[in-house]
Amino acid sequence: MDGDKIVGFAGSGTGRYVLATGTAAAYLHKAFSYAVHSTGFNQFVVDVTVQ
């Protein structure tokens, strides 16, 4: 924080694909992790890794 203002954010988590059709069907029941962080005003990056 900068004074009373928030200047960025970050987060992470995990999940599992429980529904997938067509070419994405290869991901069915696979786990994934993600990380998200801010890069600027109204901008952010999400990185997803499939295990």
Q: Tell me the two tokens of residue 40.
A: 């600027």
The SS3 call for residue 33 is: strand
Q: Tell me the two tokens of residue 12.
A: 């992470």
What does pTM read for this prediction?
0.75
Domain boundaries, the chain: 10-50
Q: Write out pLDDT tens, residues 1-50.
A: 567 777 789 999 999 999 999 999 999 999 999 999 999 888 999 999 99
User: Distance between terminal CA atoms of the chain?
Assistant: 34
Q: Which residues contact 16 (CB under 8 A, 6 or more apart)?
A: 29, 30, 31, 32
- Residue 6 confidence (pLDDT): 76
